[in-house]
Amino acid sequence: MATTSMGAGMQLAVLRELQRVVGTHKFPGCTHAPFTGDAAWKVVAYPYHAMRIPPGARALLALLTVDGQSMAVTVSKRMVVTGARLPTIPKSLFRGSVFDGYMEQGGPVPRFWVSDCLAYKGICDTRFSLNQRMAGVTGLSNALNPVEEDVSSPPAKPPSQMLVEPCVRRSLAEVPRSGTWLLCPEDLGFRPGKLQPDTYVACLDDVAQLIGSASS
């Protein structure tokens, strides 16, 4: 995935449009939060998956229309906006589609690993079921890697490297007790209380004591 730097004015315009799409001024998706004893019920009551996050790699991929211009951008945790050039993206996705994940910079082509779909065609994430979120991820993957439907013609040459890939997930029981991981609820439909973050970034040393409770 080719990336380009952006001026401060355009970065601000992108962040304002992103705020309008997701309905918040905060960075959507993962929230830094330690797992304490009073959070044990979340792990016990709902299945979680976990995924390793490289340091400093948390990011969003947003498909937006800013000042009449369709733009694909990545947004880092520090609110640094970088332009991304993606092929074969339908214009309809640029109504406001936001994907959560992390950037992998190693190798000749940067890759964005998708862990969740936060907004799809401008629909706020709070209306999403898990199936709808995954449909958003699948829709983006299909747009980036279209399937050749005409059987009479030779199949399209596959890309040398996927631009967007789903994250590898592991159960809590398989996760080591150190390092920073992305913990994703299996069912994202529940929202107890006024604010329930969908995902957490935490050191597994904080949650190690809860793994036994979740498996018992």
CATH of the domain at 191: 3.30.470.30
Q: How far is CA 30 from CA 52, 57, 200, 204, in A?
A: 13, 12, 5, 15
On whether residue 74 sits in a domain, the answer given is yes
On whether residue 122 sits in a domain, the answer given is yes
pTM of the shown model? 0.66
On whether residue 104 sits in a domain, the answer given is yes
Residue 67: give the domain boundaries.
Answer: 2-146+158-215
Task: State how many domains the chain has.
Answer: 1
On whether residue 201 sits in a domain, the answer given is yes
Residue pLDDT tens, the chain, 216 long: 556 677 888 888 888 888 777 765 555 544 444 555 555 555 555 556 666 667 677 788 888 999 888 888 888 877 788 888 777 777 888 888 888 778 877 777 777 877 777 777 776 655 566 667 667 777 787 777 665 544 455 444 443 333 566 665 566 566 655 555 666 555 444 333 333 344 444 444 445 444 454 444
Q: Is 115 exposed, middle or buried (0-12, 13-18, 19+ CB in 10 A)?
A: buried
Q: Do 82 and 73 meet the contact criterion of CB atoms below 8 Å apart?
A: yes
> What tokens appear for 156 in the block?
């399209």
CA distance 182 to 162: 22
On whether residue 168 sits in a domain, the answer given is yes
Q: Which of 149, 137, 99, 105 is nearest to 119 (CA)?
A: 99
CA distance 81 to 182: 22
On whether residue 152 sits in a domain, the answer given is no
On whether residue 151 sits in a domain, the answer given is no
On whether residue 153 sits in a domain, the answer given is no
